């Protein structure tokens, strides 16, 4: 005896044209970037139904069925008006948990800016390794994969047992420098510290110029003391470009820019993937010798930014990465295998 209803007969076979679905949702910290990625993929953003109760708790309920879909959740764990970085992280965890509970086929956390990434090791007794804690939270709540950009340190990938796809904005930033700042022979790429030398060397190679290094000490968190330029002869009379993964308070960058100018640079610019610009960063950078700063939109640029700051979109890179993950194609081919910069 076959059980069926007049309006909804039971189906015992899969439709010949069945294919898995690609769906994209964005948290409140990455609404604009999520919209750009969805547009490039030719899909509409799924409404995650996010809101904050009067007591500060986060709520999420997807407005559409996501059963069986590959859901990509776009959310940088950064602060924006109305949300702290901790709020953004909790919101991301709620979105992942809701998707897992709604039977999504795969849930991929797309965190262009991976918050807490600087706390990647114990530099003093009794400290947590908070970058690892965030990884544990994402995996425990059910994320199947992480897609991110320009991690502060490569070892953060090792905190995950699930796949991590690491993208980089450095080729796009290098192309911008080539297009906008002229003859490579007039440029010198500057590493802000010893930890960025490998990245800076590759950046300089892409442009076809030389690089130098700033000697720096960090006596406390968010405090840096710039000593001198290693390779000062390469800087004199040239346009210097300081390359870093992030700009936070701007103090280190401003001090580095002054050191480079004192070493004889003609002009100094800066490029970075993540523009955090916390505290009084805008005032600090405006008062510095910097002629211009270029960042990407992994973190929304807050109001009041000076005109010297230009934002490039990383939506094309992320959209291509999402498409390749969805179709099980190679992600590293986007960068010819050169997306590991550490």
Backbone angles phi, psi at 145, to 5 degrees: -165, 155
What pTM was computed for the model? Answer: 0.89
pLDDT > 70 in the chain, percent:
89
Q: Is residue 110 part of a domain?
A: yes
Domain that holds residue 35: 21-168+316-335
Quick one: tokens of 194?
């010893």
How many angstroms separate the CA atoms of 274 and 253, rounded? 13
User: Domain check: are 163 and 177 in the same one?
Assistant: no
Count the domains in the chain.
2
Domain shared by 281 and 269, yes or no: yes
**For residue 310, is pLDDT > 80?**
yes
> Which CATH number belongs to the domain containing residue 60 in this structure?
3.40.50.2020
252 touches 225 (CB < 8 A): no
Is residue 285 domain-resident?
yes
Cβ(221)–Cβ(249) below 8 Å: no
In tens, the pLDDT along 260-274 reads 999 999 999 999 999
> Is it the case that residue 341 has pLDDT exceeding 70?
no
51 is catalytic: no
Indicate whether 189 and 241 sit together in one domain.
yes
How far apart CA 258 and CA 275 sit, in angstroms, is 20
Residues 151 and 192 in one domain: no
pLDDT digits (tens, 9 = 90+) for 3-51: 444 555 555 554 555 578 999 999 999 999 999 999 999 999 999 999 9
Residue 5: predicted pLDDT: 46
- Of the listed 36, 206, 216, 234, which one is catalytic? 216
- Which residues, at least 6 apart from 157, have a Cβ–Cβ distance to it below 8 Å? 151, 164, 166
Average pLDDT of the segment spanning 215-236: 70
Q: Is the pLDDT of residue 75 over 50?
A: yes
């Amino acid at each position: 005896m076959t059980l069926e209803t007049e309006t909804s007969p039971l189906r015992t076979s899969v439709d010949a044209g069945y294919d898995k679905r690609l769906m994209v949702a964005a948290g409140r910290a990455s609404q604009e970037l999520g919209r750009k990625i969805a547009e490039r993929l030719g899909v509409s953003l799924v409404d995650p139904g996010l809101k904050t109760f009067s007591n500060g708790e986060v709520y999420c309920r997807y407005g559409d069925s996501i059963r069986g879909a590959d859901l990509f959740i776009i959310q940088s764990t950064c602060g924006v008006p109305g949300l702290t970085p901790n709020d953004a992280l909790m919101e991301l965890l709620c979105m992942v948990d809701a998707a897992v509970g709604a039977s999504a086929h795969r849930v991929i956390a797309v965190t262009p800016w991976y918050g807490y990434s600087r706390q990647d090791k114990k530099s003093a007794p009794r400290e947590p390794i908070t970058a690892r804690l965030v990884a544990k939270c994402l995996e425990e709540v059910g994320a199947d994969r992480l897609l991110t950009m320009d991690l502060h340190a490569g070892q953060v990938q090792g905190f995950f047992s699930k796949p991590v796809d690491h993208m980089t904005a450095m080729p796009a930033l290098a192309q911008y420098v080539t297009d906008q700042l002229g003859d490579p022979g007039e440029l010198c790429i500057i590493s802000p510290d010893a930890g960025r030398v490998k990245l800076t060397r590759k950046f300089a190679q892409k442009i076809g110029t030389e690089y130098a290094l700033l000697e720096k000490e960090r006596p406390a968190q968010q405090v840096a003391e710039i000593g001198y330029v290693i390779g000062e002869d390469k800087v004199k009379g040239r346009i210097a470009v300081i390359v870093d993964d992030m700009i936070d308070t701007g103090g280190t960058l401003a001090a580095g820019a002054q050191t480079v100018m004192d070493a004889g640079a003609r002009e100094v610019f800066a490029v970075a993937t993540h523009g955090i610009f916390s505290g009084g960063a805008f005032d600090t950078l405006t008062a510095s010798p910097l002629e211009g700063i270029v960042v990407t939109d992994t973190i929304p640029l807050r109001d009041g930014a000076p005109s010297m700051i230009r934002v490039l979109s990383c939506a094309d890179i992320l959209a291509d990465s999402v498409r390749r993950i969805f179709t099980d194609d190679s992600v590293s081919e986007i960068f010819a295998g050169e997306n590991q910069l550490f």
